[in-house]
């Protein structure tokens, strides 16, 4: 089971990782002779890291909400549906989550142990 981190941990990780990548990229650019572009490249590296961590945190929140059958958007109860894999038809199973309250829909390939392979 994957580890789930609280929001404060994601924020702390984001601040430390973003700052570290900014400093690292800036220093590398200065060492390689790109002193004028070093802060801009450091900022680009920091932005990429921040966006990546933000996306990971969003996926973590989404998976946590789906695990307890709650909508990631509105926190209302969510309906699930699983379509089993069939020989000669659908090769992989399909898991779907749908919220009637806000219209959230997510489908992912998921082959369970009961799916005919």
Same domain as 60, residue 14: yes
- Asked if pLDDT for residue 82 goes beyond 70, the answer is yes
Same domain as 77, residue 52: no
Distance in angstroms between the alpha carbons of the first and the last residue of the chain: 24
What's the pLDDT score for residue 2?
52
Instruction: Indicate the pLDDT class of residue 96, thresholds 50, 70 and 90.
Output: very high
pLDDT in tens, 30-61: 999 999 999 999 999 999 999 998 898 889 88
Same domain as 50, residue 30: yes
Region for 114 from its dihedrals, namely left if φ exceeds 0, alpha if ψ lies in -120 to 50, beta otherwise: alpha
* Secondary structure of 32-44 as H, E, C letters: CCCCCCHHHHHHH
- Side by side, which strands form the sheet with 79-83? 79-83, 94-98, 105-109
Residue 88 within any structural domain of the chain: yes
**Structural domain of 56:** 7-67
Same domain as 76, residue 33: no
Same domain as 63, residue 18: yes
Same domain as 19, residue 55: yes
Same domain as 29, residue 77: no
Same domain as 11, residue 52: yes
Residue 1 within any structural domain of the chain: no
Rounded to 10 degrees, the C-alpha dihedral 59/65/71/75 comes to -120
Residue 50 within any structural domain of the chain: yes
Same domain as 20, residue 52: yes
State how far the alpha carbon of 31 is from the alpha carbons of 14, 67, 107, in Å.
Answer: 25, 47, 47
What's the pLDDT score for residue 49?
94
| Entry field: residues in the chain | 117
Residue 41 within any structural domain of the chain: yes
Number of structural domains (the chain) is 2
């Amino acid at each position: 089971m994957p580890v789930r981190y609280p929001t404060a941990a994601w924020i702390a990780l984001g601040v430390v990782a973003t700052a570290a990548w900014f400093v690292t990229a800036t220093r590398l650019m200065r060492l390689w002779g790109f002193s004028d572009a070093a802060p801009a490249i450091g900022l680009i590296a920091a932005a990429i890291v921040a966006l990546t961590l933000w996306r990971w945190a969003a996926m973590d929140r989404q998976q946590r909400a789906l695990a307890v059958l709650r909508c990631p958007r509105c926190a209302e109860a969510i309906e699930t549906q699983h379509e089993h894999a069939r020989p000669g038809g659908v090769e992989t199973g399909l898991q779907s989550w749908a919220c009637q309250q806000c219209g959230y829909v997510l489908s992912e390939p998921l082959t369970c142990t009961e799916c005919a392979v």
